[in-house]
Chains A and B, each alone.
Chain A
Amino acid sequence: MQIYLPIAELPVNILLILVMGLAVGFISGMFGIGGGFLMTPLLIFVGITPAVAVASVASHVAASSFSGAISYWRRRALDPSLAAMLLIGGLLGTTAGVALFTLLRRLGQLDLTIALSYLILLGTVGGMMITESVRAIMRARRGRPAEVRRPGSHMWIHGLPLKMRFKTSKIYVSVIPIWTIGFLIGFIGAVMGIGGGFLLVPALIYLIRVPTGVVIGTSQVLTLITMGYATIIHAATNHLVDALLALILMIGGVIGAQFGARTGQKFSGEQLRLFLGLLVLAVGLRFAYDLVVQPPDLYTVRSVEGQK
């Protein structure tokens, strides 16, 4: 069943898009992430231009993180003051990210930037996650207790000024690294069309020492607001948000996420991190392949005004 997308200006199979939404939603529910890093490449793969894909996925991520954030809020498993501090950086980062997106699109280097950022970011993060989780699984096999997460030694981050007390998270930490993390996540998210949950969660755990219990809920609040904001800014400046595409993705996404969350509970944290790491790395390698292997056609044509 074909449906014509008004902004992407091409017909797509509605079932295919719905299944993509379900599959990505399943993964996002399982790992507690937005899933933008999978959705954007999939859309590009079915022929939607990277620019429209990035802009439309933002609203899809907002939908799935909102349903996640609500359920964490009911369980009081999020830290509102930490989320607010992250947001200050996040909104600034998103604004800067959309500005860079607009500039790169004008220069004709948007596709390359998206591909390179995916490669570098997903390659690094995927590799790190795999190493870390494999070590944890090996340790568990040998019967040794898991390494203590909070060593008494303070990192340099904890010596920074402007300290603030976060009651829910029970931490006393400088707001500078929190603003920086928020800024980077917002920036990367706007340029790459990802929510950044898979980056934010480890950053909060390892750098800020936020307790694992509140970290996913807090991260989803940030993702929700930065992605909602990114949708509005992308729509206002680049006019590339395809609401119809976004709606189909959202419906599949939120349903898939519920089943993913149930499946996720059957696995241990280390196993989940290993799966996610492999997934992230695989997407990164897919981009590497396109960049390194000689493309079958060296030429591309792009319209720059009037029609897209």
Chain B
Amino acid sequence: MTRLAAVALVAALALPAPALAERLVTTLSTSRVLIASNFTGAEVVLFGSVERDAQAVARRGGYDIVVTVSGPRETAVTFRKERVAGIWVNADSRTFVNAPSYLTVLANRKIEEIADNNTLRRTQTGLARTLLPQEISGDIADSIRDDPFRQAFLRLKVERGLYREQQNGVTFLTPALFRAAIPIPDNAPTGSYEVDVKLFADGALLSRTQTALEVVKVGFEQFVANAARDHGLLYGLATTLMALLTGWFASVVFRKD
């Protein structure tokens, strides 16, 4: 139902790079996901094609595609509960700076099989290899991969449906044509989402292209959210007035004497 009235097609072309024989052409089914009162999540479909020029050599292993969609950046705190005097309290915490509020990684097969670990790390491919800088006493640095706070952060985000890694998320329709369905969950934050598409072949990154989509509240939802943020006092007065009217109305309707 959240399928959108206006479907704007955005095609982002990779910059022509003479050294590379392949380039990517991609398009999204929509560049704007609209949140209205009946929003329960949406799906944006990405179509892409691998364009080869005359110098392109045959790739024995075929092509691999990894699509990374990251939502607006935010600062998030991960708390760890400990038992203090018999009750469970948030005792320890780590602050993740500029972490994506939403992150989906879609690939056509197991990411670890696409390239070696160094290449994947360098290109930040996959949830586990995404940089998540933590603020540690004023300094900002990414922690080791098996840091419990980092792992908990990833796990909780996955549980909420905000982070996702899908090894069969990209489907090749022909050897050069692919599609990927990007899920936008009902709790997706509003803002601009970067869509990064990487083309690998034989374990090497051949080409990369970026596009973007936007998640916005519209209509009533947008009006309420903007009013609450920009005119807090008026919004509060209006809500209180609404409460008084409801209460008064009830007392009139149900008046017994």
A interface list, Cβ under 8 A from B: 2-4, 6-7, 9-11, 59-60, 62-71, 74, 108-109, 111-112, 116, 224, 228, 231-237, 239, 241, 243-244, 246-247, 250-251, 254-255, 257-258, 290-292, 294-295, 297-307
Picked from A60, A66, A290, the residue with its CB within 8 Å of the CB of B248 is A66
Number of interface residues of B (CB under 8 A): 65
Q: Are A304 and B77 in contact (CB under 8 A)?
A: yes
Q: Are A292 and B87 in contact (CB under 8 A)?
A: yes
Cα distance A295–B248 in the bound complex, in angstroms = 43
Q: Which of B47-55, B173-181, B183-191, B200-208 contacts A (4 or more CB under 8 A)?
A: B183-191
Query: Are A11 and B251 CB-contacts (below 8 A) given A228-B244, A232-B240, A301-B77?
Result: no
B interface list, Cβ under 8 A from A: 35-40, 72-83, 86-90, 93, 95, 101, 149, 152-153, 155-157, 186-187, 189-191, 217, 220-222, 224-225, 228-229, 232-233, 235-240, 242-244, 246-251, 254-255, 257
Picked from A66, A235, A251, A307, the residue with its CB within 8 Å of the CB of B244 is A66
Cα distance A251–B250 in the bound complex, in angstroms = 9
Q: Are A59 and B242 in contact (CB under 8 A)?
A: yes
Cα distance A231–B244 in the bound complex, in angstroms = 12
Shortest Cβ-Cβ A-B pairs, 3 listed:
A235-B236, A66-B247, A254-B250
Residues of B within 8 A of A224 (CB): 247
Q: How far is the CB of A237 from chain B (nearest CB, A)?
A: 7
Query: Are A235 and B233 CB-contacts (below 8 A) given A67-B250, A299-B149, A303-B101?
Result: yes
Other A-B pairs, 15, CB within 8 Å; known A235-B232, A258-B254, A299-B78: A10-B187, A59-B239, A66-B244, A111-B90, A232-B233, A232-B239, A243-B235, A251-B246, A299-B149, A300-B78, A300-B79, A303-B76, A305-B75, A306-B74, A306-B189
Q: Which residue of A lies closest to B148 (CB)?
A: A299
Q: Are A236 and B236 in contact (CB under 8 A)?
A: yes
Cα distance A300–B79 in the bound complex, in angstroms = 5
Q: Are A241 and B248 in contact (CB under 8 A)?
A: no
Cα distance A258–B246 in the bound complex, in angstroms = 13
Cα distance A69–B248 in the bound complex, in angstroms = 10
Cα distance A301–B79 in the bound complex, in angstroms = 6
Residues of A within 8 A of B89 (CB): 109, 112
Residues of B within 8 A of A108 (CB): 77, 79, 90, 93
Q: How far is the CB of A190 from chain B (nearest CB, A)?
A: 13
Cα distance A191–B189 in the bound complex, in angstroms = 27
Q: Which residue of A lies closest to B152 (CB)?
A: A299
Picked from B87, B156, B191, the residue with its CB within 8 Å of the CB of A291 is B87
Q: Which residue of B lies closest to A228 (CB)?
A: B240
Q: Which residue of A lies closest to B160 (CB)?
A: A301
Cα distance A279–B83 in the bound complex, in angstroms = 28
Q: Are A299 and B36 in contact (CB under 8 A)?
A: no
Query: Are A246 and B78 CB-contacts (below 8 A) given A299-B152, A307-B189?
Result: no
Residues of B within 8 A of A251 (CB): 246
Q: Are B187 and A241 in contact (CB under 8 A)?
A: no
Residues of B within 8 A of A65 (CB): 247
Residues of A within 8 A of B251 (CB): 66-67, 70-71
Q: Are A304 and B75 in contact (CB under 8 A)?
A: yes
Residues of B within 8 A of A247 (CB): 242, 246
Q: Are B228 and A239 in contact (CB under 8 A)?
A: yes
Q: How far is the CB of B77 from chain A (nearest CB, A)?
A: 5
29 CB-based A-B contacts, threshold 8 Å: A2-B40, A6-B221, A11-B40, A59-B239, A59-B242, A62-B244, A66-B247, A67-B246, A70-B247, A70-B248, A74-B257, A111-B90, A116-B87, A228-B240, A235-B233, A235-B235, A236-B236, A243-B239, A250-B243, A251-B246, A254-B246, A258-B250, A298-B152, A301-B157, A302-B79, A303-B74, A304-B77, A306-B74, A307-B189
